[in-house]
Amino acid sequence: MHIASSIQKVVCQLLLLYLFSCSVDGETKGATQLTNQNIDLTLASHELVFINFYAEWCRFSNLLQPIFDEAADKVREAFPDAGKVVMGKVDCDKENAVASRFHVTKYPTLKVIVNGQPTKREYRGQRSVEAFVEFVKKQLEDPIKEFHSLRDLETLDDKKRIIIGYFDRRDQNPEYTNFRRVATNLKDDCQFHVGFGDVVAQMHPPGHPIVVFRPDVAISNENDETFDGSLSNFDELMVWVQTKCMPLVREITFENAEELTEEGLPFLILFHAPDDYDSIKDFKAIVETQLIGEKQNINFLTADGKRFAHPLHHLGKSQSDLPLIAIDSFRHMYLFPRFKDIYQPGKLKQFLADLYSGKLHREFHYGPDPDSNAVDQGNDDDKRPTSPPESTFRKLAPSKNRYTLLRDEL
């Protein structure tokens, strides 16, 4: 009876997948229409799902739709294997539940789902057939680089956070399958490398693959760490790698600035010269030892002062003043008086406390508080209101009052 029931269950699942294949993969034109009825199966059965959330009344959605449909046809031709990729579309007026589930509030919005999990970044690249196809191809590239000698590991970038796998063979399942799924999801946050067979035999017991985290030693004081959980458990491996690839102190770039601003937390930013790794390492060490309790309230970031020269200009500073530290509250930017003071225990924490208490903003309007420990209390200049510039990083956040697609993007 139990065997018959199991067979019946398998047959039902195969039939469901067949029907799905006919209704989704069997379509020959345009992006696949996704609804509340078929979206879960779509996400579960494809490695990559690229979704256009649109509204029929939206002019920009109507402009984008034929471009996205043509790209979907080309992607279907390039990747005909079932379960690889699907480009889908959601009519947000008809599918309110789906739009709400994915937090869509403006149209068109382009979301990327990898192994059933939404990526941190929406697609905000060029809206053209060629750009969409190239983006999909890039997403489907193998996220793991294979090394063929342990000496190859000596040349890896010591400014990057790296996950290294040592396996007997590529078909070692489910361990390697889980490793690859994790790498696919987190390839934007870490580099992933793997070795097989005799190349790595001395690095792990036979039949027992291991995964190791190698930190960005040039700019941090962290140590190597070996995953001690079960590689057969995808969720366990995913959580561990995520904590290693997404450190307390992150680098802000023009590519991730919008994503970071969407998190809604004020920035504490170290602006540094491109080759100043010592300041980065010291800043990270101080944050990790003295400010870890503030991680729910502040985004700790480092920024290349050459690339982000514009915020420096707003602070009245230039590259010759680096390194320096500032808070961007999304209203104003406040400069930490002297970089060298970070080495005095409690100084940087007090700077944050002054933000929370409103002191920094209050002094912006009324000058230093009466009990403020100014350097020269007798100097009348210290009692004048300060003039911190407006936030510059706020301008990098996505606007709530415009469509995802601008007129000049088409």
The C-alpha atoms of residue 112 and residue 52 are separated, in whole angstroms, by: 9
DSSP state of 317: -
pLDDT at 397: 59
Nearest CA-CA partner of 113 in 125, 126, 128, 123: 123
Is the Cβ–Cβ distance between 55 and 104 less than 8 Å? no
pLDDT at 10: 43
Residue 386 has pLDDT above 60, yes or no: no
- Determine how many CB atoms are found less than 10 A away from the CB of residue 150: 13
* Complete DSSP assignment for 230-262: -TT-HHHHHHHHHHHHS-SEEE--TTTHHHHHH
Query: What is the end-to-end Cα distance of the chain in Å, rounded?
Result: 61
Rounded mean pLDDT of the chain? 86
Element (H, E) at 11: helix 2-20
Distances in Å between the Cα of 75 and the Cα atoms of 81, 117, 120, 142, 187 are 11, 20, 23, 17, 22
The C-alpha atoms of residue 8 and residue 270 are separated, in whole angstroms, by: 61
pLDDT at 409: 42
DSSP state of 394: G
The C-alpha atoms of residue 14 and residue 20 are separated, in whole angstroms, by: 10
Cis status, amide bond into 370, omega within 30 of 0: no
Q: What is the mean pLDDT of residues 201-216?
A: 95
187-196 confidence digits (pLDDT tens): 989 999 999 9
Tokens representing residue 157 in the block? 């970038």
77-134 confidence digits (pLDDT tens): 999 998 999 999 999 999 999 999 998 988 999 999 998 888 878 898 899 999 999 9
258-269 confidence digits (pLDDT tens): 888 888 899 999
The C-alpha atoms of residue 273 and residue 305 are separated, in whole angstroms, by: 6
Tokens representing residue 41 in the block? 């199966």
Distances in Å between the Cα of 216 and the Cα atoms of 190, 289, 341 are 10, 18, 25
Q: What are phi and psi of 74, to 5 degrees?
A: -70, -35
Domains delineated in the chain: 32-140 (3.40.30.10), 144-245 (3.40.30.10), 250-368+384-395 (3.40.30.10)
Confidence of residue 16 (pLDDT cuts 50, 70, 90): very low
